Chains A and B, each alone.
With several copies, the nearest count.
Chain A
Amino acid sequence: MSTTTLPLKRRGLDYKKFLANNGALVGLVVLCIALFIATPDFLTAQNLLNIGIQVSTVAVLAFGMTFVIVAGGIDLSVGAVAALSAMSSGWMFASAGLPGWIALLGGLFVGALAGTINGLANASGKLPSFIATLAMLSVARGLTLVISDGRPISTPAEVSFLGGNLGPVPMPIIILVLAALAASFLLNRTVIGRSMYAVGGNAEAARLSGLPVKRILVTVFALAGLFAALAGLLLAGRLDSAQPQAAAGYELDAIAAVVIGGASLAGGLGKISGTFVGALVLVVIRNGLNLLNVTSFWQQVVIGLVIALAVGVDVLRRKTRSS
């Protein structure tokens, strides 16, 4: 067989490829079927809309995180940056008196800026991304409190619109879809996106091949910051206010979504579609446990087990396939 050299049959390749790229999908489907059997409240149009809305924040954060993890880094600051961006936006509107849409753009800018600083600290300052972004987590959360004096700030109508409806469709779902398309386009079709895989796979080989590794890393973190800002504004829109403690701890959810979605913290692997499935797994578990009225202490136990199982199903599947 080893004779074939070049072009290459594609037997059922797409189906296999899809499953390989979306391992946790199997886990998600199993989870949904179980919930469908367990409670009639799960598979209702309203509940599915709820899930769509609920997944939006974590998924958007996780899309940004996907860039970082694909490129071999980690970003612990996304939750804090989300809060800082939304709070800055609220402040620009409420205290600085800027027009709502400028405040909205300003919030996005703050997120991208924080991400750029992460990227520079990592790429030029040679700080491990874990440390650079841990520092940013603390700084951004602190600044959020400073700006707000610990109080929520209500957001301009433009931001609240992000949390509302466009006709019958909730805006968070629209934004989620747009963010997914944009992230996936960036990662799959653009030079910078493809370069992220190379940098995460072997940064030295990428550098020697002439890829601008530093610039790529800065872009990666800037994008993570921008997506975090979008998630933060989305959240503020849903809550009609920027909260000083908004999105606290979400970084772990975002990383978990990316990893459940098939990426490796070692870098070089990851897909937006996988990340989306990973975020859905996390949200569907919580939604389902609420519907089933599992008591909140046991809920955490069950969440842990289901996360392990959802990823475990994928591991098992891969094992079976390869043998």
Chain B
Amino acid sequence: MSQQPLVTLQNVGKTFGPVTVIKDVTVSVYAGKVQVLLGENGAGKSTLIKMMAGVYQPDAGHIVVDGQTVTLPTTRAAEELGIATIHQELNLVPTMSIAENVMLGRMPTKHGLVDRSALRNRARAALALIGLDVDVDTLVGDLGIARQQLVEIAKALSINARILILDEPTAALTRHETESLFAVMTDLRRRGVGMLFISHHLDEIAEVGDTVTVLRDGEFIAEVPASTPEDDLVKLMVGRNIEDHFPRSAGDVSQATEILTVDKLTSAGSFSDISFSVKAGEVLGIAGLVGAGRTELIRAIAGADRYTSGTVAVRGRQLPNGSIQAAIAAGIGHVPEDRKGQGLVLDASVNDNLGYATLAATAKLGLVDFAGQRSRAAEVAMKLRIRMHTIDQSIGALSGGNQQKAVFGRWIIAASTVLLLDEPTRGVDVGAKVEIYELMNAITAAGGAILMVSSELPEILGMSDRILVMRDGRIAGELTAAEATQDAVMTLAARDVDEKYE
């Protein structure tokens, strides 16, 4: 690579108080290339790119843009140098429209006033790039997490940057949207845009990447071509081999009892006439496109939303409609899709967050069992290998993947036997995924049942014993593990998707 990089982070370092998060890392982005950052949860990827985006200032080293050393005190400074960023955590204003969110900070004006038609047009154009077809006047708060992610992507794309940073843009997307995004990236690459791409989906690396920089514990480990075999990448990343990415060890469930039974469940406007059951020891996967109604279904079962008709029963006992506490008492544990908005109290400690579901159950005379809660939390944090500075730090400062593990950990502590998982490994690294899968195995092996919604087809295929495919709020079909292939699932999920889009 004789060409001059667009931007280089040169021997940068970053510490937060006593914690060193990035140590002496160098990484460059070249025009027309996609530089991939790879590392476990908490390796420091997001921290690194935030220095390039003007969010953090490096404590050591410097930033070079077009051969010049620069400082990036604000995001605006970065943007002025042509650097646009899609952050891992969504940075949208829920009370504003899609159009205003896409153009935030760059509102088109006419005579000093907001030019609304230009605003809408430019937002529509940005959405069209990634194939999101919704009314741009819709409030972002009314969108599901996947569509919010698409809005965030559209926002960065509309900046016309020379350098585009994408921090796990595909974590919340299904294959369908991911492909649209990759098409855009290919186009941008052709136009000479340099990109920095982060993902825990290893298969995506070879697909869009050029070179891969691997980080471990905030340190540079290696730079390798994107064509490097996945197994080698994993080894660089976690320092060991991972034999089996989907270590599902299903037992024979033909004689097992039904644990979770859902009968003709209907929620007006969201889904209708859903019936299925999950047996002890079974993982039932639910696949579907964004907007198929999977999240609404899971929330209704968990008691988070009320449904219109139908029944939910656990071990033959019908659960009352809309009661989370009753669901938890029956053994249900619910991992919601939006960890930041629904899963965590970000300002509270890791310890507290792990313990919410067991706070009351373990109390004596209404007094919190602090010692017990703490030791249980510590144990689970260790088991899930949650990377943190102390268990008393606020969970908002953990890396995204580690936050996700904490939501999961809450139900491990609660000894839930019926897990409702909505995108359970979103943003989780390969190593930690396997750990989560092992936990799922342990729960099913102990006679538990798992219902898992995932937009990651390999995960659905690799971990489910049986797969339901949802489309438009209905069950479009059921596949056994043996019959299930990507094509089979997608055919059911998207049969008339083209008609629907117009």
Contact = CB atoms under 8 A, between A and B. Distances in A.
The reply, when asked whether chain A contacts chain B directly with Cβ atoms under 8 A, is yes
Interface stretch (A100-108, A126-134, A198-206): A198-206
B94 A191 contact: no
Contacts of A322: 17
A198 B19 contact: no
Interface stretch (A6-14, A36-44, A223-231): A6-14
B472 A2 contact: yes
Interface stretch (B172-180, B226-234, B344-352): B344-352
A197 B382 contact: no
Given A2-B272, A194-B107, A195-B359, A204 B381 contact: no
Contacts of B269: 1-2
Interface stretch (A141-149, A175-183, A207-215): A207-215
B74 interface: yes
Interface stretch (B201-209, B275-283, B363-371): B363-371
A217 to B, nearest CB: 15
Contact of A189 (B105, B113, B134): B113
Contacts, number: 204
Interface string B334-367: 1010000111111110001000110110010011
A210 B388 contact: no
A192 B324 CA distance: 17
A24 to B, nearest CB: 18
A5 interface: yes
Q: Interface range on chain B: under 10, 10 to 19, 20 to 34, or 35 or more?
A: 35 or more
B391 A6 contact: yes
Contacts of B55: 208
B114 A209 contact: no
A202 B396 CA distance: 12
Contact of B342 (A9, A190, A204): A204
A215 B490 CA distance: 44
B388 A5 contact: yes
Contacts of B473: 2-3, 5
A269 interface: yes
B472 A268 contact: no
B64 interface: no
A1 B42 CA distance: 12
Interface of B: 15, 17-21, 42, 44, 53, 55, 74-76, 79, 85, 87, 91-96, 100, 104-107, 109, 112-114, 133-135, 138, 155, 217-218, 267-272, 291-293, 302, 304, 324-325, 327-328, 334, 336, 341-348, 352, 356-357, 359-360, 363, 366-368, 378, 381-382, 385-392, 410, 472-474, 500-501
29 contacts: A1-B20, A1-B218, A2-B269, A2-B271, A2-B293, A2-B387, A2-B473, A3-B472, A6-B291, A8-B135, A190-B113, A194-B368, A197-B345, A198-B104, A200-B95, A201-B348, A202-B93, A202-B341, A205-B92, A205-B104, A206-B104, A208-B85, A209-B75, A209-B106, A209-B155, A210-B74, A210-B76, A210-B106, A268-B96
Given A2-B19, A2-B20, 20 more contacts: A1-B19, A2-B44, A5-B473, A7-B134, A7-B390, A8-B390, A190-B114, A191-B113, A191-B360, A194-B96, A194-B368, A198-B348, A198-B356, A208-B53, A208-B304, A209-B106, A210-B105, A210-B325, A210-B356, A269-B347
Interface of A: 1-10, 188-195, 197-198, 200-202, 204-212, 268-269, 322
